[in-house]
Amino acid sequence: MYSWSESLTLTSASDWDELFTGLHGASRISVPDREAPWSARLEWQRSTAYGVALCAGGREVVRRETRHIRSDPRGTYELLVPLAGSAWVEQGPSAAELRPGSMVLCDIDRPMRFAHDADFLSVAFIVSGADVAARSPVAAGEPKLLGAERGLGRIVRQLTTTLHEERAQLSESTFDLACDRLLDLVCLAAEGGTDTAPAGQRATVEAAVRRYVRRHACERDLDVAVIATALGWSVRYVQQVLQEAGTTARDLIRRERLNAARARLAGAGWASYSIAQIAHSCGFGSHASFTTAFRAEFGLTPSEARRRSD
């Protein structure tokens, strides 16, 4: 089911407990004074596969213990992205203080303790544990503390907050596609950045690059930087994935341009265009370079290919 709540303000700690545990799993929540006035806000979006939730509440300590996991298993991981204030997270042997500029990826079905002050504001990205494990065994291991001030971590933080802010404008399929991309980046960050391509992601990234090149091959400014920017990866990461697949972005672009040119040379709709015009339309800078590349790829010149199609 796909649903969202724009802004739900709560004035009761008990109401907060109910909604919080509904989103994040059964837990024991302790607050300084349950009878005192309470002010909290929850905003969320949830599809079958993913969820994002903004939480802003009073001072509390949340303990998700073995008995809670046994009674309410979730099978999920959460990336917690602080926007303001500070919090403390403990899970197994790992413990960390969270502030804006850091994030943590935790398995919700492992006992944990989470504490924060009244000024804490965060967005949680909720994903299937099976999806995390399928992409990256490293990300699915011990809790991962990730930097969010620069590089890939900063991109993850920005995408998480933007996904929450724009959630009401997205259809379920678009929301899931955006979450797919975000999860890829989270796993990549958990692997240690863009220098190493996680094995579980390489085939997916390679396929995405090939699809993008196929659709945009004839655009004259297409290069690895354009591809990486459009798909949300770093240039170095795209280059590494393609290198491991035995190719380069330049080779993919050249091959797709040549395939497009061959189809146009044989197409009735392009019969009135000169070979030089077709070469230019497919992204080649000159007739001569096109002819050389075409002969090397197909074993005949563009003129010969056109005559054979007549």
Question: 152 with 131: CB under 8 angstroms?
Answer: no
Judge residue 126's burial from the number of C-beta atoms within 10 Å of its C-beta, 0-12 exposed, 13-18 middle, 19 or more buried.
buried
Per residue in 10-43, is it b (16+ CB within 10 Å) or e — as a string? Answer: beebeebbebbbebbbbbebebeeeeeebebebb
Q: Which domains does the chain have, with CATH numbers?
A: 3-190 (2.60.120.10), 195-310 (1.10.10.60)
Distance from the first to the final alpha carbon of the chain: 55
Q: How many CA atoms lie within 13 A of 147 on its CB side?
A: 6
Query: pLDDT tens across 26-72, in order?
Result: 999 998 888 887 788 888 888 888 999 999 888 899 999 999 999 99
Q: How many CA atoms lie within 13 A of 153 on its CB side?
A: 20
State residue 1's pLDDT score.
43
Structure tokens at 108: 């919700």
pLDDT band of residue 200 (cuts 50, 70, 90) is low
Distance CA 20, CA 128 (A): 18
Query: pLDDT tens across 218-257, in order?
Result: 999 999 988 988 876 777 778 888 988 899 999 999 999 9
pLDDT band of residue 160 (cuts 50, 70, 90) is very high
Average the pLDDT over each of 13-17, 85-89, 248-252, 293-297 and give the range with the smallest value: 13-17
Question: 204 with 184: CB under 8 angstroms?
Answer: yes
Structure tokens at 86: 């500070």
- Considering only residues 1 and 184, tell me which one the structure prediction assigns the higher pLDDT: 184
Of the candidates 20, 126, 136, 16, the one whose C-alpha atom is nearest the C-alpha of residue 74 is 126
